[in-house]
Structure formats: structure tokens, C-alpha cells
Amino acid sequence: MEKGRREDGKSSEVKILVIGTGAIGGFYGAKLAQAGALVSVVARSDHDSILAEGIHVESDAGDTRFAPEKVLRSAPDYGDPPDIILVATKVLPGADTPNLIRGAVGPGTSILLIQNGIDIEEPVRLTFPETEILSGLAFIAANRVGPGRILHLDYGRLTLGRYPSGPSSRAEAIRSLLESVGVPCLVTEDVVTARWQKLVWNAPFNPISVLAGGVDTRTILGSEESTRLARAVMEEVSQLAAAAGHPLPADVIDQNIQGTRVMKPYKTSMLLDFENRRPMEVEAILGNAVRIARSLGVAIPHMETLYALLKLVDSRIGS
């Protein structure tokens, strides 16, 4: 198994601590290790399995298996601060990202948040005002199918940048690592706009997949009416982004529809959470956008409807 070292046996100088070993953390952690970074992970429910077997990514593009440098139960156990803390946990009410990483952040650490939703960075920025915050958007179809086991179905591109804006040498270093192992990566100096662009896809497909009774992306776009609904939600996201000062490309909706049509049928992360009776990222994906719209006086009736219904569904999980 890959042990976080290059093929020539030399250690990378980039030390990365991954918080969250689900589909996102597992996939990008494995790829960064394959590229030569020294990757450690914080794992809770998967701790013993990953310690014994490592993390395995199954993909048509080639399987990857790696043994993390360290498998920890909490971030403070890492020791000397890492160069990068990659946070890939769900953004849920009550989840305290700053507290999860507090004991591992050092003076030279950058924090990379690869998470869903809009307006999710502020709690981390306020807690660590002197620390570089990087925000990342994963355009990937991947699922966690077991402890330390990730199934990569399609895509994999990562967009990241310094939050709220500006250049970042650390972001460029991550791009270089990922692209060296075939993972497309774009660095942007306007990552907030990139987050709005990702929401164009997340806002319709995640909620509809749950509220339609558990359907994948191909099923949603196989119906004229559900496609019409998805497009209407995308139009609302675009209008809201423009009102918030982050206008999106004119073809963003058509690109998302066309890209999803050619993608392998995919169960969204929200649908998988629902099927496994786990809380869903309702607030990060819809609630924050609804609150921004209300503060700006922007009408988003389709998104408000999905939000209200999804909150009811989410409230019944575990009851």
C-alpha cells in the first residue's frame, strides 16, 4: 500500500491532516498521498478499520489504496501542526468545525474546507482570524460504501481558492499535487463565486432526489417536469448569486444540465444520508441561501418550497 511517499522513496514536505474519511476525504486524501504528500487522517467510526486496512478507492480510472501516516481519533493527537488541515465533514447544525481542528492548527497551517453549501466558512474564519482559509468545491460522484472504502463513479475535479478572495501559494501547491496524479484542479481568486456556481447543481439535485422518493440524477432528468423544476431552482440560484454580488456565467445552467445528463446515474449525498437515516445538509445547501435571499429581498419560491419540505423530512429522521 502507498505509505504517503513518492515512488523514489523521498518524503514530501507537505504534511496534510484529513478530518473526515467519507467519500470526499477518502478520495482526495488517497490522491494527495499518491502524489507524495504525507497524509494523516482523523477517523472516528472507521478508525480501527482504517488503521488495519488503510483507505481503498475503487474507480474505473484506477484503484488506489493507501495507509495514512497516522490514523487518529482527534486532531490534537497529530503532534506538530500540519501544513494543511483538510476538512471534509458534513456541514450540519451543531457541528463545530473550529473545535474539531483547534488543537492541530499552527502558525503555518492552512485550513482547506471541502464541504457543501454556501456561506459555510465564517465560523472557521472568525475562530482563526490569522490563519489562511481555503475553500474547496468537489465536482465528483463518489460514495462511501464501507469503512475506509470509497466508490468513485465519475468526475473528480476540485476548485479551490483563498477565502474570501486572493491568491494562495498553498492552493497552488495542492493543485500541483492533484494534477500530478491526474485529478483536475482549478485555483480561483474568487472562491465565493465558485461556491455559488456549485450551488447551482446542489440546490436542485440534492433535495429533489430525496423528495421524489429516492431517485438518482438520471431519473430526475428523465422527466420533463422534474427537469423543469431543477432548471427553475438553478435560475433562482443564479439570480440570488447576482444579487449577492457574484454573477455567474450565462451558460452555467445549461452546462450543469448537460454535464449531469452524460454523468453516470448518481445518488446524491443527501439521498444517501436520508436512506441511512442520517441528518442531511439542509441548512448548508438550502437554508443559508434562503436566509441570504430574504435579507436581500430576492424571491426564490421554488427553493423556499424545497427547503420547507426538506426540513420536515429531516426532522423525522431518527424519530
Q: Which residues are part of the catalytic machinery? A: 198
Residue 19: φ, ψ to 5° = -105, 110
Tell me, rounded to whole angstroms, the distance of Cα 62 from its chain centroid. 21
In angstroms, the Cα distances linking 7 to 3, 186, 291 are 10, 25, 49
Question: How far lies 197's CA from each of 16, 129, 317, in Å?
Answer: 27, 26, 29
CA distance 31 to 53: 17
Residue 318 buriedness (CB in 10 A; 0-12 / 13-18 / 19+): exposed
CB 148 within 8 A of CB 26: yes
- Separation of alpha carbons 283 and 118, rounded Å: 9
The residue among 185, 196, 171, 168 whose CA lies nearest residue 303 is 196
CB 241 within 8 A of CB 202: no
Q: Is the dihedral of CA 123, 128, 130, 136 positive or negative?
A: negative
Strand 84-87 vs strand 15-19: parallel, antiparallel, or unpaired? parallel
Say if residues 163 and 189 touch (Cβ distance below 8 Å): no
Q: Are 158 and 152 in contact (CB under 8 A)?
A: no
Q: Which amino acid is at 174?
A: I
Assigned C-alpha cell, 229: 423544476
